[in-house]
Every structure is written in structure tokens, then in C-alpha cells.
């Protein structure tokens, strides 16, 4: 299943042992640059370079990566089509009357804007997937401590992370048990079975919570959680390289801010 897949890849990819800070700076930096870029040049460069890093450096399967990207990009395409028709500025490319009242118009300005927004979303998604495919959640807890995020939040998120998988596993077991006994035959049955599953999960969760308290007590819980052993080595040359890359991209974004595909900038 997908949930397991993403986390598994993050745990096993080739860039796993890189210090998470480097990967997160790279990913977040790219997102910032691409969403604030005024032309499609910088986002395009980011799409190419980050995808290259994800596929060749981290060793993520190309087809899987493409499939993963298709999910958010599907939504993006739909919204961009709406934008292209809604925003009108500059020379009109074509217009098409829809009955007597509506006029569908596409202008060069709206086309430019649509493409720009699409490229920003695309680059942003690539950067986000770079982070989520190369950085396991477990590696980010140590980083959260460094960022002075309150301990309560970190402890809670660690417990949630641990038990999400237990919950999903149980849900899958219950679902299978229902499915085997034809619990999802038609819609009505399906709704009924789903409700039963939710109820059973709730009770299981309650039990698990009680067991958790017992387990923590029997291991002398005193309000403290162990933090990850940050053994991943920080590589300063690599960090510098990432910063240089981000600066070059920022430069490109600023330098090409007037660039448009169709018509002239104004």
C-alpha cells in the first residue's frame, strides 16, 4: 500500500544517511524559490535538477516517481485550466461564445499565468517529494528538537508516528476479515461494515492506549523520551553546495523575472 511504500522508500533510499538538515534546506529552498519565481525558467530548472537528484542520486524508481507526481499534477492541471479561462489580460488568443450569455476567452496573459502557476506547482511538488522520499520521518525528530519545538509536541508526534502503523495494520486486518465474509458486497453493506470497522478500531485504540500506559510505566516512564541518536554526519561541503545551488537558482529567478512565453511582458 502507498502509506507503507513512501515511508519504506524514505527508509531505504540511497540518500537516507545524508544529514536531514541538508535535504530539508534543499527541498524547502527550492519550494520557496519556485513559488516566488515570476517566470517559468527557475521552476523548470528546479524540476529538472531535483527530479534528477531524486531519480539518480536517491535511486527512486523512475516509473514510481512519475506515478506519484501524477496524483497532485492531475489536480493542478484542472485548476490551471480554470485559471486560463478566468483571468483575462493582454491580447486575446481566442474566444468562444457559449450560448448567448457566456464567452469563453483565453488571452496571452492568462495563458502565461496558467503556465507559470503550473510550473510553480510542478517544481514545488518535485521538491516536496524529494524531501518525503529521501528523509524518513524518524530523522526529522532530532531536527525538531534543534528547532526548539516544544517537547510535548515532539513526544506526541513520535507516539503518533509509531502507532499510525499499528492502527493501519489493524484496520487492514479488520477490513480483510470483513471482506472475506463479503462485508462490502453492496453500498449499504459497505457503509455498515465500515461503521463496524470504525467502532472496532476505536475499542482497539482504547485498549492500545491502556497497554501503552502500562508499558511506559513498567519501563519507568518519568516524562522523558529518548531522542534519536544523531549519528548522521553533517557534511559541510555538501551544505555549501546546496546553498550555492539555491543562490544560483534565486539569481536565475530574479534575472529572468520578465520572461514570458507568449506576447510581451508588461
Partner 1 sequence: MNNIIEIKNISYKYPNGPDALKNISFSIGKGEKIALVGPNGAGKSTLLLMLNGMIKPDLGEIHFSGSPVRYDRNNLRELRRRVGFVFQNPDSQIIAPTVFQDVAFGPVNLGLSKDEIKSVVGDALSAVGLKGFERRPPHQLSGGEKKRVAMAGILAMSPDVLVFDEPTSALDPAGSEDIMELLDEMHIDGRTIIISTHDVELAYPWADRVILIQEGEILAEGTSGEVFYNKSLVKSAKLSMPVLLDLYDGLVERGMPESDNLPKSILDFIHLLYANSSDIRNTENMDCGIIYLVDADRINPGEIKSLISSLEINGIGAMGSKAKMMADIEKIELDYTYGVIDKCLLKSINRKNSMIITTAGMIKRVYDRVLEFNQESMRDITIRNCTEINTKL
Sites of contact with partner 1 (CB under 8 A): 7-8, 11, 136-139, 141, 158-159, 161-162, 165-166, 169, 208, 211-212, 214-229, 231
Q: For 227, which DSSP code?
A: P
Quote the least distance from Cβ 15 to partner 1, whole Å. Answer: 14
Q: Are strands 92-98 and 102-107 parallel, antiparallel or unpaired?
A: antiparallel
Q: Give 105's strand partners.
A: 95
Q: How far is CA 225 from CA 142, 146, 152, 165, in A?
A: 12, 15, 10, 19
> Closer CB to partner 1, residue 83 or residue 200?
200
**CA angle (227, 229, 235) in 5-degree steps:** 125
> Closer CB to partner 1, residue 32 or residue 155?
155
> Closer CB to partner 1, residue 86 or residue 214?
214
CB atoms under 10 Å from CB of 151, counted, come to: 14
Dist CA 148 CA 168 (whole Å): 30
SS (H, E, C) 112-146: HHHHHHHHHHHHHHHHHHHHHHHCCHHHHHHHHHH
Quote the least distance from Cβ 222 to partner 1, whole Å. Answer: 4
Quote the least distance from Cβ 207 to partner 1, whole Å. Answer: 9
Quote the least distance from Cβ 106 to partner 1, whole Å. Answer: 49
> Closer CB to partner 1, residue 10 or residue 31?
10
> Closer CB to partner 1, residue 113 or residue 139?
139
**Phi and psi torsions of 105, nearest 5°:** -125, 135
Quote the least distance from Cβ 232 to partner 1, whole Å. Answer: 9
> Closer CB to partner 1, residue 1 or residue 264?
1
> Closer CB to partner 1, residue 167 or residue 243?
167
Three-state DSSP at 107 gives strand
> Does residue 18 contact residue 238 with C-beta atoms inside 8 Å?
yes
> Closer CB to partner 1, residue 21 or residue 76?
21
Alpha helix ranges (H) inside the chain: 2-12, 20-36, 41-52, 62-86, 108-134, 137-146, 151-180, 187-218, 236-255
Quote the least distance from Cβ 201 to partner 1, whole Å. Answer: 15
Quote the least distance from Cβ 19 to partner 1, whole Å. Answer: 13
Quote the least distance from Cβ 236 to partner 1, whole Å. Answer: 22
Amino acid at each position: 500500500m502507498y502509506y507503507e511504500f513512501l515511508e519504506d522508500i524514505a527508509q531505504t533510499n540511497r540518500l537516507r544517511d545524508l544529514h536531514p538538515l541538508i535535504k530539508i534546506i534543499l527541498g524547502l529552498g527550492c519550494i520557496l524559490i519556485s513559488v516566488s519565481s515570476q517566470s517559468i525558467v527557475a521552476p523548470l530548472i528546479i524540476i529538472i535538477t531535483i527530479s534528477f537528484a531524486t531519480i539518480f542520486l536517491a535511486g527512486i524508481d523512475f516509473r514510481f516517481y512519475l506515478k506519484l507526481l501524477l496524483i497532485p499534477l492531475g489536480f493542478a492541471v484542472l485548476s490551471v485550466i480554470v485559471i486560463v479561462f478566468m483571468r483575462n489580460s493582454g491580447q486575446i488568443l481566442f474566444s468562444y461564445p457559449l450560448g448567448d450569455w457566456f464567452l469563453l476567452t483565453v488571452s496571452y496573459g492568462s495563458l502565461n499565468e496558467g503556465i507559470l502557476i503550473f510550473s510553480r506547482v510542478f517544481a514545488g511538488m518535485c521538491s516536496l517529494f524529494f524531501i518525503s522520499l529521501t528523509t524518513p520521518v524518524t530523522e526529522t525528530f532530532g531536527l525538531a528538537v534543534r528547532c526548539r519545538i516544544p517537547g510535548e509536541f515532539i513526544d506526541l508526534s513520535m507516539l503518533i508516528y509509531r502507532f499510525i502503523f499499528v492502527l493501519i495494520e489493524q484496520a487492514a486486518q479488520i477490513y480483510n476479515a470483513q471482506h472475506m465474509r463479503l462485508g462490502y458486497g453492496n453500498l449499504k453493506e459497505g457503509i455498515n461494515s465500515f461503521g463496524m470497522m470504525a467502532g472496532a478500531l476505536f475499542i482497539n485504540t482504547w485498549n492500545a492506549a491502556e497497554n501503552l500506559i502500562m508499558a511506559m510505566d513498567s519501563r519507568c516512564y518519568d516524562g522523558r523520551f529518548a531522542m534519536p541518536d544523531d549519528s548522521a554526519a553533517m557534511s559541510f561541503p555538501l551544505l555549501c553546495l546546496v546553498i550555492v545551488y539555491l543562490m544560483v537558482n534565486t539569481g536565475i529567478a530574479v534575472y529572468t523575472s520578465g520572461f514570458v512565453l507568449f506576447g510581451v511582458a508588461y
